[in-house]
Copies of this chain bind each other. A is one copy, B any other.
């Protein structure tokens, strides 16, 4: 494989990518998905990466771990740094400087917005942001883009509807920004108090992406090519009664087989970053338009692609 523009670069934000980058990543992802296992596992044989997860997330951590391992690489998996002794009052900067001595790349998940950039600033080795607070989660956005392309062929011309807690879901923030590279129409369905933040809407205005907001799920479905459901972030209570009530009200947005049958197009897909709670009923799983399990699997191959592009193999 040819050397990538991402060689030894940090992956910090969805906004760092051009459309041409996305095409390169997509091409590499497909190549790795088709590659025989015996060949694939030789690509990162000399490599050790560290999954440094301050906020535990077995799901994202395991996706990177699996990607590295199918490529023959090695992983030091540290989940829940706060509960381990890494902390002992140490700064994030000192911690990443330590772990870059033990590995060739750090995958960082952190609670604070901006943590990935702070870490990258003091590191000599590349860093992949696996989610920092309400900030970025670029690999999720990349796998979402890849999934839409794989499922529907082309992103230009699509109507994409995002549903649920749009205020705090970093997944939909990153995806909305990344979609501004394409010619799409966006629709945001949420209770008022969990609406898409002004910052994202300003970004979309500046990039001339048409979007509309709605408070009704049912009314938003019939012309959607992609319905992107999100989970109410149960694990981060606001402490504010009005907000918590609104979160409760986000639970009204539930997609089930009956609603799909009544409203949705034949050729469209339902996505979800997972884990899900009640927002997608189990009876949707058998519908071929339910793309979320394929989306998870795409995440594995996207991460393989990024690891080989950043760590370089040819």
Please tell me which stretch of A3-11, A60-68, A113-121 contacts chain B, meaning at least 4 of its Cβ atoms lie within 8 angstroms of it.
A60-68
Q: Is A239 an interface residue (CB 8 A)?
A: no
Greatest chain B CB density within 10 A among A59, A79, A277 is at: A59
- In the assembled complex, which residues on chain B have CB atoms less than 8 Å from the CB atom of A245? none
Query: Is the CB–CB distance between A69 and B74 below 8 Å?
Result: yes
A261 part of interface (Cβ distance < 8 Å): no
Tally A residues with Cβ within 8 Å of B.
52
Are B57 and A46 in contact, with the CB atoms below 8 A?
A: no
A46 with B41: CB separation less than 8 A? yes
The verdict on A235 contacting B66 (CB below 8 Å), with A46-B41, A98-B274, A300-B102 known, is no
CA distance A88 to B35 in the complex (A): 34
Stretch of A13-21, A48-56, A170-178, A196-204 that contacts chain B? A48-56
Please determine whether B56 and A85 come into contact, CB atoms closer than 8 angstroms: yes
A86 contacts partner chain B, Cβ-Cβ < 8 Å: yes
Query: How many copies of the shown chain assemble into the complex?
Result: 3
Which residues of chain A (21-57) have a CB below 8 Å from chain B?
A: 37-38, 41, 45-46, 48, 50, 55-57
Q: A201 CB to closest chain B CB, in angstroms?
A: 28
- Docked complex Cα distance between A275 and B98 (Å): 9
Are the CB atoms of A101 and B296 closer together than 8 Å?
A: yes
Q: Does A97 contact B (CB under 8 A)?
A: yes
Q: Give chain B residues whose Cβ lies under 8 Å from the Cβ of A58.
A: 78, 81, 84-86
The minimal Cβ–Cβ distance linking A300 to chain B, given in whole angstroms, is 6
Q: In whole angstroms, what is the CA distance A79 to B83 when docked?
A: 11
- A46: chain B residues at CB < 8 Å are 37-38, 41, 70
A89 contacts B by Cβ under 8 Å? yes
A94 beta carbon closer than 8 Å to chain B: yes
Q: Are B85 and A66 in contact (CB under 8 A)?
A: no
Closest 6 CB pairs of A and B: A66-B102, A90-B275, A69-B74, A37-B46, A101-B297, A58-B86
